Amino acid sequence: MSDTTSSFQAPIGTHDVLGPESGQWESLIATFADFAYRYGFSLAITPMFEDVGVFNRGIGEHSEVAKKEMYVFADRGERVYALRPEGTASIVRAFVQHQPATPWKAWYVTPAFRYERPQAGRYRQHHQLGVEALGTEDPAIDVEVITLAWRFFEAIGLRSIRLLINSMGHDECRAAYVSILRHHLATDPSLLCDEHQKAWSHNPLRVLDCKKAPCIDVTSRGPMLPDHLCDECREHFAAVLAGLTSLGVEAELNPRLVRGFDYYTRTTFEFVADALDGAQNAIGGGGRYDKLAEQLGGKPTGGIGFGTGIERLLLTRAAESDQPLDLLNRTLDVFVVDTTGGDVATVLVDELRSAGVACDRAYDQRSMKSQMKVADKSGARWALLVGPQELLAGEVTIRDLRSDNFEQAQQKASRDDLVAAIANLLTK
RNA sequence: GUGGGCGUAGCUCAGUUGGUUAGAGCGCCAGGUUGUGGUCCUGGAGGCCGCGGGUUCGACCCCCGUCGCUCACCCCA
């Protein structure tokens, strides 16, 4: 499709989101923004590309995402950048750069880019909503971030969500655990699945996450991370779990939960949707990253965040319900039908819109029948009819498009009282 | 990166063992006498049958390539 006569389409793995589907996006974003506001987070807008080092140092050079999924490019000044593959690293980079007063609580909505083969629920450009809180290691903030996510999923009506939680410990207790785990795996690597028989020593934690029976069998007889935390990490984790319990947030302890980015310490969590099957059922996740600010050149500052994928939220919604998500109810109030040439419509919609009424009109001087059809399809509750009669009398006919009774459906209003009359109808 | 399925009107799809003017439903547009939508009726516009090459008297149909879509593996939102 590169010849000059063909047209263009969206790049592989990307999608245009148009109405009415975009109404669901608006619902999610607006609801999330409202939650963030109520929890004390302010919006942070950061560049969609960063020095590639921000992501390499942040999510880990050896993670799958950094190794083969980043969109890396050099600009004309030979600076090497990458399109952001996730939200957290950029926010922490901005934190380090500007050093806002702590605790600093920021939320974001952003595209995220990963170069991989698209499939159901996985795209080269997807979109995430998230929050980050930096500058405190109080388990109360862990509880708050997780609870925000939990309540958000409730608010948008999702039913099949489970929360899995684990603690990765801090550098030292995790390193100690990894060597114990490595020792356990080394006793007989041939018992592992085909893939991990070779790869186990590179990153033993990944074996914990393996879904294949042989690995599950071996690891279930081995050491689990929560049992090997140092006293401080153990107490921190216990406080998080107790806090969640006190709020009625049901977390399932999952010692196998190992997330994809290297920056996580202590609390890690993931939300899975049982309504989605198989490999793409993670709809959100996050955790604590107490070393990340330092790795990006800042002062040691603890932080915790959460991110969720808009596309997967909507897939989950679709799997759970036939009804599209419509929390904003963005429908037109009024549609103006003007058969006198259109100039009256021009003035009327301006008056109504200035008064806060959502309205639209027909164009191109189409017939009344045609304009009425458009009015019907617009979803507007009321049609305003202006023909030669109304023009002469200085009136407008107000028609209820939900009514099928011609007599009861219509009433007249004078031009001067129109805005007030409509306002009155809309408050009923 | 690897593998499977699929590319015919804006959308969802038919298209007989290759045979000449490529169809349906929905959507869109216009009508169904004098200013009224949602139902119904009539008519209309709209397709280099993804693209390129090959086989053939003849290709939407068969073969090859290519691009794209889709599903799966790895991993993730």
A408/A144: higher pLDDT = A144
- From the CA of A363 to the C1' of B29: give the distance in Å: 14
Indicate whether A63 pLDDT > 80. Answer: no
Protein residue closest via CA to C1' of B48: A5
pLDDT band at A6; cut points 50, 70, 90: low
- From the CA of A16 to the C1' of B25: give the distance in Å: 26
Using CA atoms, how far apart are residues A8 and A44, in angstroms rounded to an integer? 33
Q: What is the 3-state secondary structure (H, E, C) of chain A?
A: CCCCCCCCCCCCCCCCCCCCHHHHHHHHHHHHHHHHHHCCCEECCCCCEEEHHHHHHHHCCCCHHHHHHCCEEECCCCCEEEECCCCHHHHHHHHHHHCCCCCEEEEEEEEEECCCCCECCECCEEEEEEEEEECCCCHHHHHHHHHHHHHHHHHCCCCCEEEEEEECCCHHHHHHHHHHHHHHHHCCHHHCCHHHHHHCCCCHHHHHHCCCHHHHHHHHCCCCHHHHCCHHHHHHHHHHHHHHHHCCCCEEECCCCCCCCCCCEEEEEEEEECCCCHHHCEEEEEEECCCHHHHCCCCCCCEEEEEEEHHHHHHHHHHHCCCCCCCCCCCCCEEEEECCCCHHHHHHHHHHHHCCCCEEECCCCCCHHHHHHHHHHHCCCEEEEECHHHHHHCEEEEEECCCCCHHHHEEEEEHHHHHHHHHHHHHC
Identify whether A224 is part of a domain.
no
State whether A239 and A371 are in the same domain: no
Identify whether A205 is part of a domain.
no
Phi/psi at A333 (nearest 5 deg)? Answer: -85, -45
Residues β-bridged to residue A125: A113
Indicate whether A3 pLDDT > 60. Answer: no
State whether A350 and A386 are in the same domain: yes
* % residues pLDDT > 70 (chain A): 98
- From the CA of A74 to the C1' of B19: give the distance in Å: 57
State whether A85 and A111 are in the same domain: yes
User: Cis ω on the peptide bond leading into residue A204 (within 30° of 0)?
Assistant: no
Q: Is the CB of A261 under 7 A from strand B?
A: yes
Residue with tokens 């963005």: A330
ipTM over cut 0.90? no
Q: Are A163 and A252 in contact (CB under 8 A)?
A: yes
- From the CA of A151 to the C1' of B15: give the distance in Å: 53
State whether A270 and A161 are in the same domain: yes
Identify whether A410 is part of a domain.
yes
| pLDDT value of position A208 | 85
pLDDT band at A101; cut points 50, 70, 90: very high
Q: What angle is formed at CA A118 by the lines to CA A116 and CA A121, rounded to 5 degrees?
A: 120
Residue at a domain's end among A270, A291, A320: A320
pLDDT band at A144; cut points 50, 70, 90: very high
Burial A341-375 (b: 16+ CB within 10 A, else e): ebebbeebbeebeeeebebbbbeeeeeeeebbebb
- What's the mean pLDDT in A88-93? 96
Identify whether A285 is part of a domain.
yes
- What's the mean pLDDT in A179-190? 86
| pLDDT value of position A187 | 84
Give residue-wise pLDDT tens across range A361-415.
999 999 999 999 999 999 999 999 999 999 999 999 999 999 877 777 899 999 9
| pLDDT value of position A215 | 81
Indicate whether A65 pLDDT > 80. Answer: no
State whether A362 and A268 are in the same domain: no
* % residues pLDDT > 90 (chain A): 70
> Looking at residue A375, which CATH number applies to its domain?
3.40.50.800
Q: Is the CB of A307 under 7 A from strand B?
A: yes
**CA-CA-CA-CA torsion sign (A34, A45, A28, A163):** negative
Identify whether A208 is part of a domain.
no
State whether A368 and A276 are in the same domain: no
Q: Residue A272 belongs to what domain range?
A: 21-170+230-320
State whether A142 and A268 are in the same domain: yes
A183/A90: higher pLDDT = A90
State whether A260 and A378 are in the same domain: no
State whether A146 and A69 are in the same domain: yes
Q: Which nucleotide is nearest to A391 (CA to C1')?
A: B35
Total domains in chain A come to: 2
Residue at a domain's end among A263, A291, A320: A320
State whether A102 and A56 are in the same domain: yes
Indicate whether A46 pLDDT > 80. Answer: yes
- From the CA of A119 to the C1' of B38: give the distance in Å: 39
Identify whether A178 is part of a domain.
no
β-strands A72-74, A80-83: how paired?
antiparallel
A141/A182: higher pLDDT = A141
State whether A163 and A259 are in the same domain: yes
Indicate whether A268 pLDDT > 80. Answer: yes
- From the CA of A370 to the C1' of B65: give the distance in Å: 50
| pLDDT value of position A1 | 34
Chain B positions with a protein C-beta closer than 7 Å: 1-3, 28-32, 35-38, 48, 50-51, 67-77
Using CA atoms, how far apart are residues A247 and A16, in angstroms rounded to an integer? 39
A326/A153: higher pLDDT = A153
Q: Which nucleotide is nearest to A395 (CA to C1')?
A: B35
Q: Is the CB of A196 under 7 A from strand B?
A: no
Identify whether A354 is part of a domain.
yes
Residue at a domain's end among A262, A289, A320: A320
| pLDDT value of position A4 | 42
Indicate whether A253 pLDDT > 80. Answer: yes
Identify whether A15 is part of a domain.
no
State whether A246 and A164 are in the same domain: yes
| pLDDT value of position A2 | 36
Give residue-wise pLDDT tens across range A298-322.
999 999 999 999 999 999 998 888 8
Give residue-wise pLDDT tens across range A186-235.
888 888 877 777 777 777 888 888 877 788 888 888 899 999 999 999 99
> Looking at residue A42, which CATH number applies to its domain?
3.30.930.10
